[in-house]
Amino acid sequence: MSVNADHVRRAALDSRAPIHDEVVAAGESWVGNILRGQVLRIVDLEGNQAVDTLFYNAHESDEHYSAVDTIRGQGNIYLTTGTKLRSNLGATLLTIIEDTCGRHDTLGGACSAESNTVRYALEARHMHSCRDSFLLALARRGHDLGKRDLPSNINFFMNVPVTSDGKLSFADGLSAPGRYVELRADMDVLVLISNCPQLNNPCNAYNPTPIQILTWAAG
Ligand SMILES: [Zn+2]
């Protein structure tokens, strides 16, 4: 899409009322369905917040987001405008159509009670984690998905640069208050979000903050 056409599309989107508009508090989760053609916008309201996210085929949850297929498909490890989020079956789940942050991670994974223990301290085991948030959110909504159904995820707004010798580093975010990422669903998808509660590394600037979720109808 040309820059001009993109401006026209965005202006058209902003002139229409969203069908869903919700603030997700720091450390909370969100589950929802986005139908084919609908647009999902995730806003980093205060900046430097990691938003751990998974997508599933809404009609067949065995088909889900695949970091490996996404990276291989685009030949790049970072996610940004133009990235097609691929499934484990090679289909496109969603496409990133707008990104005012510029880079999102899909290598760092989700924090868990286990990773809190290994990375930080035994005393960190009880702290809230994205993996537990995913499972709690699914259970609350009555979804029949468990630990085995959690593949490697996306960390929107999180900065995990890879060094020249291939090392992963968790760095200060590139995001800032109000930056957002916008995705168009290429099939009906189930969206699972953990607004990361992590207090022990710079992915949230040691201070988890709220995000905003907006969706627009197709067209
Ligand atoms: Zn987390």
Residue range 22-44, pLDDT digits in tens: 999 999 999 999 999 999 999 99
Ligand 1 centroid – CA 155 distance (Å): 9
Query: Ligand 1 centre from 16 Cα, in Å?
Result: 33
Q: Please, is 15 exposed, middle or buried when counting C-beta atoms within 10 Å of its C-beta (0-12, 13-18, 19+)? A: exposed
- The stretch 63-74 carries a mean pLDDT of 98
Residue 110 alpha carbon to ligand 1 centre in Å: 5
CA nearest neighbour of 189 among 18, 82, 61: 61
What is the Å distance from ligand 1's center to 36 Cα? 28
Instruction: Give the pLDDT band of residue 2 (cuts 50, 70, 90).
Output: low
Domain boundaries, given as residue ranges, for the chain: 19-216
One-letter amino acid of 70: T
Tens of pLDDT, residue by residue over 133-184, are 999 999 999 998 999 999 999 999 998 899 999 998 877 778 999 999 999 9
Beta carbons of 82 and 104 less than 8 angstroms apart: no
pLDDT score, position 134: 96
H-helix or E-strand containing 179? Answer: strand 179-185
Would you say residue 55 has pLDDT above 80?
yes
Taking the centre of ligand 1 as the mean of its atom positions, its distance from the CA of residue 56, in whole angstroms, is 19
Burial class of residue 71, CB neighbours in 10 A (0-12, 13-18, 19+): middle
- pLDDT-based confidence at 59, cuts 50/70/90? very high
Are 65 and 87 in contact by the 8 Å Cβ rule? The answer is yes
Q: What distance in Å separates the CA atoms of residue 208 and residue 196, rounded to the nearest whole number?
A: 7
CA of 15 relative to ligand 1 center, distance in Å:
34
Provide the pLDDT for residue 3. 62
Q: How far is ligand 1, taken at its centre, from the CA of residue 81, in Å?
A: 23
Ligand 1 center–CA 176 separation, angstroms? 18
